[in-house]
A and B are shown apart, each in its own frame.
Chain A
Amino acid sequence: MSDAPDELSVLAGEYVLGMLDENEAASVRRRAEIDPILARAIGDWESRFAPLAELVPPVAAPPMIWDRIERSLDAAQSPAPPTGYRPEPRGTRFWRATTAAALALAAVFAAIAYLPRNEAPPRLAALGVAGAPAPAFIAEARGDGYVTLTSVSPAPVPTGRDLELWLLPKGATTVTSLGLLLATGRRLAVPGLADGAQLLVSLEPQGGSPTGQPTGAVLYGGTLITR
């Protein structure tokens, strides 16, 4: 099948405007990887339309964004477990939940059976609750700095609430938000993860914790280990 140049350009334009749904957009992206003409058409629209972003009045970015970017970079650049996490006093409820979640480590071994064989050994964690037959999510961290969270059997998320993912590096005393987690899973950049780091999932108000620390129950948790 070959599209007329016009069709290709329209498709690229719709993609750049953001009008395509998730599947259509993913299909355009895959195709652009092997079709230099489509890739070029996309690049053209990107630079043509970019000035329209000036129509949005600037909004000061919350300082926590830069803090989070820096932590991710620090983690990526130091092979040792990152330090510099500021301990903050916390209530005990969160830590009790964390301890319980850590018990879910055993489920990691069950989870490994689900995963495809691969060349480089990934770090894996099964995020679940102790005693549950299957984990809620499986986290897989590869050397490329990305973690993929695959949904296995999470409990339904109540309306008006969101799941938020947290990182507790080994030896750290404070968690860092990695952002919201959809029930369908997520792939996100978390460079520099080391064995022993814990991933935790808490139930938060819609849109995520307003405080930058977990405010709701920790539902799932697991510890990353090299497969």
Chain B
Amino acid sequence: MRLVSQNENVASAAELLMQVGQGSRTAFQQLYNLQSSRLYAVALRITCRAPLASDAMHDAFLQVWRNAASFDPARGNAEAWLVTLVRYRALDIVRRRGREVSSEGMPERVDPEPDALSQLSQGREARALHACLSELAEDRRRLIVMAFVDGLSHSEVADRVQMPLGTVKSWIRRSLQALRTCLEGT
């Protein structure tokens, strides 16, 4: 078996997270250095504002520090855990605040290209997700990707794609049902 990580000289996020769980500040900083640009981008995309994205990162990383010992590598991968924490903090912030529509100074949001999904890494979850998203009609797949990446509510998605709210809700619902069936079969 050959394990290839993107940078074999650097400890993986999972290894670092285990060390963080034992109280290593060095590992914590390495983990931050390894993951911060990826996670900050996720927070910025959802909050649309640098100070809010910074708040989300700060709060999420303190959670990482406090809860690293409870992370169970058998139950999920470290990158997914980190993304989840940062997304929830970012979503909390925009939900509480109400998202401002204007986002001056931000690069214009571009919907991910349909075949961008094929660039997803080749991890097991990524391959399964790619395969199952590919089974959805393109316009429905787009709504799911948009909702996740931009952290949009039903009505924000409806505004963005100029579709009735009821249609968006029912498409999302059916897409989730189809994805679940497909993913549980993979």
**Using a CB–CB distance below 8 Å, which chain A residues touch chain B?**
6, 9-10, 13-14, 16-22, 25, 43, 46-62, 64-66, 68-69, 72-73, 145, 164, 179-180, 182, 184, 186, 188-189, 191, 206-208
With beta carbons under 8 angstroms apart, the residue of B40, B116, B173 that contacts A59 is B40
**Using a CB–CB distance below 8 Å, which chain B residues touch chain A?**
25, 28-29, 32, 36-42, 44-46, 49-52, 54-55, 57-59, 61-63, 65-66, 75-77, 79-80, 83-84, 87, 91-92, 95-97, 100, 112, 116-117, 119-121, 123, 125-126, 128-130, 144-145, 147-149, 151-154, 157, 172-173, 176-177, 179-180, 183
Known: A13-B180, A180-B97, A184-B96. 5 other contacts (CB 8 A): A13-B179, A56-B149, A61-B40, A189-B62, A189-B63
Q: Contact: B84 with A50, CB < 8 Å?
A: yes
- The 8 listed contacts between A and B (C-beta, < 8 Å) are A13-B172, A56-B38, A57-B41, A59-B37, A60-B36, A188-B59, A206-B100, A207-B49
* 6 interchain residue pairs of minimum CB distance: A50-B80, A208-B51, A61-B40, A51-B126, A58-B37, A18-B151
Among A6, A13, A56, residue most surrounded by chain B Cβ atoms (within 10 Å):
A56
Min CB distance A192 to B, Å, is: 11
Q: Contact: A14 with B75, CB < 8 Å?
A: no
Q: Contact: B36 with A18, CB < 8 Å?
A: no
Question: Chain A: which residue is nearest B151 at the CB level?
Answer: A18
Q: Contact: B54 with A68, CB < 8 Å?
A: yes
Q: Which residues of the other chain, A, contact B179 by a CB distance below 8 angstroms?
A: 13, 48
Question: Chain A: which residue is nearest B33 at the CB level?
Answer: A66
With beta carbons under 8 angstroms apart, the residue of A21, A49, A58, A184 that contacts B129 is A49
Q: Contact: B126 with A54, CB < 8 Å?
A: yes
Contacts known (A43-B75, A189-B62, A207-B49); A61 close to B87, Cβ less than 8 A = no
With beta carbons under 8 angstroms apart, the residue of B36, B61, B91, B125 that contacts A47 is B125
Min CB distance B95 to A, Å, is: 4
Contacts known (A47-B76, A72-B58, A189-B62); A66 close to B32, Cβ less than 8 A = yes
Q: Which residues of the other chain, B, contact A25 by a CB distance below 8 angstroms?
A: 91-92, 95
Q: Contact: B42 with A43, CB < 8 Å?
A: no
Question: Chain A: which residue is nearest B47 at the CB level?
Answer: A207
Q: How far is the CA of A227 from the CA of B43 in the complex (A)?
A: 36
Q: How far is the CA of A179 from the CA of B57 in the complex (A)?
A: 11
Q: Contact: A56 with B42, CB < 8 Å?
A: yes
Q: Contact: B62 with A18, CB < 8 Å?
A: no
Q: Contact: B153 with A49, CB < 8 Å?
A: no
Q: Which residues of the other chain, B, contact A186 by a CB distance below 8 angstroms?
A: 96
Contacts known (A22-B95, A48-B128); A56 close to B45, Cβ less than 8 A = yes
Min CB distance A90 to B, Å, is: 20
Min CB distance A82 to B, Å, is: 15
Q: Which residues of the other chain, B, contact A19 by a CB distance below 8 angstroms?
A: 147, 152-154, 157, 172
Among A22, A51, A59, A65, residue most surrounded by chain B Cβ atoms (within 10 Å):
A51
Q: Which residues of the other chain, B, contact A49 by a CB distance below 8 angstroms?
A: 129, 148
Q: Contact: B148 with A69, CB < 8 Å?
A: no
Contacts known (A47-B80, A188-B59); A54 close to B50, Cβ less than 8 A = no
With beta carbons under 8 angstroms apart, the residue of B116, B176, B183 that contacts A55 is B116
